Amino acid sequence: MAVWQFTFKPIPRPAPGASPEDLWARFGWEVQPIPESLLSRLCDLLPLKETYGTGDDVTLVYGEQSQNDIHVFYEDGRAVSFRLDLRNPDVPLLRAIVEATAAVDAVFVSSDERVCSRPSGMW
């Protein structure tokens, strides 16, 4: 990850009282499938640029890895990750990510700070 990029993930809303560290270790889309409504909305935001892997171990990359991108991982469980280019913030893209994530009642977790926040309260 470049120094100008901020990375975060949406995950299902955890049980009350879960610590941020627990969110990474025990919560995520491994227990339940990533909602198709979330995937379809996110995949419409940026063009598919790359696909890595085969079979069940696939990573789809939407957008440019040197700018804004969305990774959808199907290896070792399932996950979605966003990287936003802070040199040139794309507010409409961030708003669309927040709205798509809030629509499935998920929360954001920062990979660096391990902080959980409610996306629905941002706008």
Q: For 73, phi and psi rounded to 5 degrees?
A: -105, 135
Decide which of 112 and 28 is more confident. 28
Q: What is the mean pLDDT of the chain?
A: 79
H or E segment to which residue 50 belongs: strand 48-54
Question: pTM for the full model?
Answer: 0.79
Count each helix (H run) and each strand (E run) in the chain, helices first: 3, 7
Answer with the residue of higher pLDDT: 84 or 6.
Answer: 84
Task: Indicate the pairing of strand 106-110 with strand 116-117.
Answer: antiparallel
Q: How far apart are the first and last CA of the chain?
A: 27
76 pLDDT tier (thresholds 50, 70, 90): low
Q: Place 27 in a pLDDT band, splitting at 50, 70 and 90.
A: low
